[in-house]
């Protein structure tokens, strides 16, 4: 089993609570979300692997066993042109679980009128392979590094 941890602190939410139908209806993939506090945050890798994609507002980490995890910082934040984000790690880098990837000015996103909710999505995964942790089902507070999703079994090799 692979464990995906919270990349930011906040309140864990089911993906259906995300105010964007693409995420809420799991069109990108199954997962969970976090409503973060209004402060500057270091967003961390949800698991160890390779940073295969990085944009100021989103990144994808692929684990050694093949899972690809998308962390999207807020909703419609691509329209902010990267202003509230500072990328700390280059695409293609190896990352440790809990290692900082992006520094994020959450209050700037909120001030722009956008949602700061963070979808954490397992790309190319069947829904039955992704089991939310208790924090998601109870919508409990989490810290960065708190278990968020359990993935089983590993995806087939490519």
Q: Phi and psi at residue 149, in whole multiples of 5°?
A: -140, 145
Question: What SS3 state is found at 108?
Answer: helix
In a domain, 158, yes or no: no
User: Over the stretch 56-89, which tens digit does the pLDDT of each residue have?
Assistant: 999 999 999 999 999 999 999 999 999 999 999 9
At 156 the pLDDT is: 58
User: Which residue range(s) make up the domain with 13?
Assistant: 2-151
Report the share of the chain in percent with pLDDT over 90.
94
At 155 the pLDDT is: 60
At 157 the pLDDT is: 56
Q: Taking residues 118-134, report their average pLDDT.
A: 96
Mean pLDDT of the residues in the chain: 96
In a domain, 16, yes or no: yes
Question: Which of 81, 83, 31, 40 minimizes the C-alpha distance to 61?
Answer: 31
At 153 the pLDDT is: 77
CATH of the domain at 93: 2.70.70.10
At 27 the pLDDT is: 96
In a domain, 44, yes or no: yes
In a domain, 18, yes or no: yes
User: Over the stretch 30-41, which tens digit does the pLDDT of each residue have?
Assistant: 999 999 999 999
Query: Which residues sit opposite 14 in a β-bridge?
Result: 32
Q: Taking residues 113-141, report their average pLDDT.
A: 96
DSSP 52-77: EEEETTEEEEE-TTS-EEEEE-SSSG
* N- to C-terminal Cα separation, the chain: 19
Number of folded domains that form the chain:
1
Q: Are 113 and 137 in contact (CB under 8 A)?
A: no
Task: Give dist(CA 45, CA 6) in Å, integer.
Answer: 8
Confidence bin at 112 (pLDDT 50/70/90): very high
In a domain, 139, yes or no: yes
In a domain, 135, yes or no: yes
72 assigned to active site: yes
**Which among 55, 57, 72, 150 is annotated as catalytic?**
72
Query: Which residues sit opposite 150 in a β-bridge?
Result: 3, 131
In a domain, 61, yes or no: yes
At 136 the pLDDT is: 97
């Amino acid at each position: 089993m692979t464990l995906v941890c919270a990349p930011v602190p906040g309140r864990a939410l089911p993906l259906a609570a995300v105010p964007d139908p693409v995420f809420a209806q799991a069109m990108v993939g199954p997962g969970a979300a976090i409503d973060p506090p209004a402060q500057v945050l270091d967003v961390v890798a949800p698991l160890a692997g390779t940073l295969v994609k990085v944009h100021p507002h989103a990144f994808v980490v692929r684990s050694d066993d093949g899972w690809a995890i998308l962390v999207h910082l807020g909703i419609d934040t691509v329209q902010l042109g990267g202003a509230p984000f500072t990328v700390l790690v280059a695409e293609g880098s190896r990352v440790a679980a809990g290692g900082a990837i992006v520094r994020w000015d959450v209050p700037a996103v909120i001030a722009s009128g956008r949602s700061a909710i963070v979808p954490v999505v397992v790309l190319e995964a069947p829904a039955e392979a992704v089991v939310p942790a208790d924090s998601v089902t109870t919508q409990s507070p989490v810290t960065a590094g708190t278990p968020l999703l359990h993935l089983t079994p590993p995806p087939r090799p490519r």
